[in-house]
């Protein structure tokens, strides 16, 4: 969501005449877009802001702004804590940047704008960013959250849930596709409740509209809340052709006692039922999740229930976090906090277990032929097989199940007409590693879109 917001910030600054640079030292304006979901993210933001002091001394005309969730949470306090900051703008102030920045340029004043009003649904701003040739793009479909999980800062810094109008979303995606994007990831804190408050279409209906956009090859979305995840979306996953075979369904804990204290509004049994229905309806679908360890009051028995749930589900991948207190989140007041030492130990135990499942799931792909959406030339271009043909380019892409696949192609980047970012390449998976797969293209020239059912007409 912050990546998307940063793109929106960049587009608004571009309209004011600013250009992006990768060199911090030559910038006239620096915007730091921050996250406060966990204590560590906030610490990182302040440490980076502190380091900008030297830059401002060297270049007193430099404007430094801080946006995002830390800005929303701390507001004016940031101006006192970090004297070289010129602008603090909250999560709903991005649209107001075209007014705020010229004011600072003219008057050299310091501004705080953290008003949290019901956000008007603005069409997205576009910049030149798409000229960078990226194949995949985020698209926010909802902002804020109404769920108030007891550990979470999001409803306090992003405001109440609002859904964007489908016309704006579709217009934005059509624009992205025109500039070369082949895959979109639709973003919301709980996509299952899309449109309900506003009386717009349902999320599966939105998926169906996005599916009909010509030139778009793949659709992903995140996040689904298990309490609202139902048969309608499960069926949409099966039948909506461009929707990828992957679902991120954060469980947070496997213990009913902890789920209740987290205010998650589902039980372990309900979660497992939904996973079973999902796997029955969509065989081969990849499932990933989020888990928090060390929530206040989490006993060894609670933690073991989480480990047990992981063994039952066998997630393809997992984002695991140690609990940290967040301002205004009710769990701050909860008793029986878990020591840092215990939290880290639990995290390690849990990650070790997950590592086995991730490897096992990757290993199960070996021998299969998968349509890969090529993203670009791999960062590890120089590593890999000793027998590689020369000259060789190492490409990287993803399966529909969101697994990274690297492969060689006997050509060089300047002369690579048959493989390029945005192309679907059918690739035989030859090796599985801890976090990626290794493959070999089996059919380059006639590769087609990675649609459901492709296997049935595979050569
Ligand atoms: N809306 C999503 C959901 O309900 O699952 C989650 C969004 S949150 C931005 C991403 C993840 O951060 C959560 O799923 C949770 O695992 C983790 N998280 C949130 N608050 C946390 C906290 N106080 N301490 C540790 N992890 C936290
Ligand atoms: Fe936070 Fe819960 Fe909302 Fe997700 S659903 S953003 S965890 S309050």
At residue 317, the pLDDT reads 97
Mean pLDDT for all residues in the chain: 91
For 199-221, what is each residue's pLDDT tens digit?
Answer: 999 999 999 999 999 999 999 99
Q: In the beta sheet, which residues pair with residue 30?
A: 64
At residue 128, the pLDDT reads 46
> Which of ligand 2's atoms lies nearest the C-alpha of 158?
6
Phi, psi angles (nearest 5°) of residue 87: -140, 130
Quick one: 201 exposed, middle or buried, by C-beta within 10 A (0-12, 13-18, 19+)?
middle
- Give the separation between CA 194 and CA 406, rounded to whole angstroms: 35
At residue 117, the pLDDT reads 74
pLDDT at 32 over 90: yes
pLDDT > 90: what percent of the chain?
A: 84
Pocket of ligand 2 (CB under 6 A): 145, 147-149, 152, 154-155, 189-190, 225
Distance 145 CA to ligand 2 centre (A): 6
Q: What is the mean pLDDT of residues 173-182?
A: 94
- Evaluate: CB of 154 within 6 angstroms of ligand 1: yes
The DSSP secondary structure of 322-366, one letter per residue, reads E----TT-GGGG-S-PPPHHHHHHHHHHHHHHHHHHHHHHHHTTT
Distance 291 CA to ligand 1 centre (A): 8
pLDDT at 47 over 50: yes
Q: In the beta sheet, which residues pair with residue 404?
A: 398
- Evaluate: CB of 430 within 6 angstroms of ligand 1: no
pLDDT bracket for residue 134 (50, 70, 90): confident
At residue 126, the pLDDT reads 61
pLDDT bracket for residue 416 (50, 70, 90): low
pLDDT bracket for residue 456 (50, 70, 90): very low
The pTM score is 0.92
At residue 448, the pLDDT reads 44
At residue 446, the pLDDT reads 40
pLDDT at 452 over 70: no
At residue 420, the pLDDT reads 85
For 52-102, what is each residue's pLDDT tens digit?
Answer: 999 999 999 999 999 999 999 999 999 999 999 999 999 999 999 999 999
Distance 48 CA to ligand 2 centre (A): 26
> Which H helix or E strand runs over 408?
strand 404-409
pLDDT at 264 over 90: yes
pLDDT at 402 over 60: yes
Find the ligand nearest to 36 CA.
Answer: 1
At residue 116, the pLDDT reads 84
């Amino acid at each position: 969501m912050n990546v998307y917001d940063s793109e929106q910030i960049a587009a608004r600054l571009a309209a004011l005449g600013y250009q992006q640079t990768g060199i911090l030292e030559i910038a006239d304006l620096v915007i730091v877009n921050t996250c406060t979901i966990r204590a560590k993210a906030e610490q990182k933001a302040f440490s980076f802001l502190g380091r900008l002091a030297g830059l401002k001394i060297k270049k007193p005309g430099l404007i430094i702004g801080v946006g995002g969730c830390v800005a929303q949470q701390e507001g004016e306090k940031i101006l006192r804590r970090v004297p070289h900051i010129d602008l603090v703008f909250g999560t709903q102030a991005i649209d107001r940047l075209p007014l705020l920045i010229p004011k600072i340029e003219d008057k050299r004043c310091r501004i705080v704008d953290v008003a949290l009003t019901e956000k008007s649904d603005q069409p997205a701003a576009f910049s030149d960013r798409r000229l960078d040739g990226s194949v995949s793009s985020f698209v926010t479909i909802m902002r804020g959250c109404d769920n108030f999980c007891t550990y979470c800062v999001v409803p306090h810094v992003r405001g109440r849930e609002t859904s964007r109008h489908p016309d704006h979303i579709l217009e934005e995606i059509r624009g992205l596709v025109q500039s070369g994007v082949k895959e979109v990831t639709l973003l919301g804190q709980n996509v299952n409740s899309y449109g309900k408050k506003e009386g717009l279409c349902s999320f599966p209906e939105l998926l169906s509209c996005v599916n009909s956009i010509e030139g778009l090859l793949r659709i992903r979305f995140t996040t689904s809340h298990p309490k609202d995840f139902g048969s309608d979306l499960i069926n949409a996953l099966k039948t909506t052709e461009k929707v990828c075979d992957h679902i991120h369904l954060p469980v947070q804990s496997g213990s009913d006692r902890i789920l209740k204290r987290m205010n998650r509004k589902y039980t372990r049994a309900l979660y497992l039922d939904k996973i079973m229905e999902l796997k029955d309806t969509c065989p081969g679908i990849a499932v990933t999740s989020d888990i928090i360890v060390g929530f206040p009051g989490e006993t060894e028995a609670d933690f073991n229930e989480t480990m047990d749930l992981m063994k039952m589900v066998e997630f393809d991948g997992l984002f695991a976090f140690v609990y940290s207190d967040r301002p205004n989140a009710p769990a701050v007041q909860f008793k029986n906090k878990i020591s840092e030492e215990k939290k880290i130990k639990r995290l390690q135990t849990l990650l070790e277990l997950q590592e086995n499942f991730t490897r096992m799931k990757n290993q199960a792909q070996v021998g299969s032929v998968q349509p890969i959406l090529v993203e670009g030339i791999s960062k590890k271009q120089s590593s890999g097989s000793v027998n590689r043909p020369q000259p060789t380019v190492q490409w990287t892409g993803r399966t529909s199940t969101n697994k990274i696949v690297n492969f060689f192609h006997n050509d060089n980047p300047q002369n690579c007409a048959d493989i390029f970012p945005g192309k679907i390449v059918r690739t035989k998976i030859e090796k599985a590693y801890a976090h990626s797969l290794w493959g070999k293209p089996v059919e380059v020239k006639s590769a087609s879109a990675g649609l459901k059912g492709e296997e049935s007409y595979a050569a």
